[in-house]
Chains A and B, each alone.
Chain A
Amino acid sequence: EIVLTQSPVTLSLSPGERATLFCRTSQSASSPVAWYQHKPGQAPRLLIYGASTRAPGIPARFSGSGSGTDFTLTISSLEPEDFAVYYCQQRTDWPLWTFGQGTKVEIK
């Protein structure tokens, strides 16, 4: 079973600062990760797929990188609306579609 581990669990930053979120998979899988943003009371939103491709309508301040077992989501300059929980996700051999436990980006 492949496990996705996100770090840090919580990231306390101020608007305008750079946020760097990490996602490590327990095994190298054939599919690269996707990243989602989730705000309370809202549906999760796809940000990045294929490790580095922004989904339609996603601002350029969001970028993804990585390969193999280590992936990164970077928010270059935090806007007030970016404070949320972020999840990485990967298609794996089992349990097929796996999510990380999430990183909460909170206002410092």
Chain B
Amino acid sequence: EVHLLESGGGLVQPGGSLRLSCAASGFTFSYYAMSWVRQAPGRGLDWVSIICDNGGCTYYGDSVKGRFIISRDNSWNTLYLQMNNLRAEDTALYYCVKGVPVAGKTTHFDYWGQGVQVTVSS
């Protein structure tokens, strides 16, 4: 059974940093792209970042580009999101998500973690 367990969230002041982790189990982690998707209070789902199966490529949404860094450790089946220069608008529930490849491209996501809360406030 696939499990994705996020950790590392919390309350941080504007301009601060946090590092989220996602421990994956139940599948061959190194075979799949992994992503972060967030949901701000009262808002819909918002794609944040994705990393290729071998870590060789990364992509970011415009709102986090230059501030967030996605990485993974395939030896430890763990996904990370380093969040720097945090802003109030980054306040959200952050989900760790497993990508599904179709014809070599990740087109959608089949498993989601329960999410970890990040609150940016002074």
Interface residues of A (CB under 8 A from B): 31-32, 34, 36, 38, 42-46, 49-50, 55, 85, 87, 89, 91, 95-102
Contact = CB atoms under 8 A, between A and B. Distances in A.
B45 A46 contact: no
B73 interface: no
Given A44-B95, A49-B107, A97 B35 contact: yes
Interface in B10-49: 35, 37, 44-47
Contacts of A34: 107-109
27 contacts: A31-B102, A31-B107, A38-B45, A46-B109, A49-B110, A50-B102, A50-B107, A55-B110, A85-B44, A89-B45, A89-B108, A91-B106, A91-B108, A95-B47, A95-B62, A96-B47, A96-B50, A96-B61, A97-B35, A97-B37, A97-B47, A97-B50, A99-B44, A99-B45, A99-B46, A99-B47, A100-B44
Contacts, number: 63
Contacts of B95: 43-44
B59 A46 contact: no
Contacts of B107: 31-32, 34, 49-50, 91
Interface in B60-112: 61-62, 95, 100, 102, 105-112
Contacts of A46: 108-111
A78 B28 CA distance: 36
B22 to A, nearest CB: 12
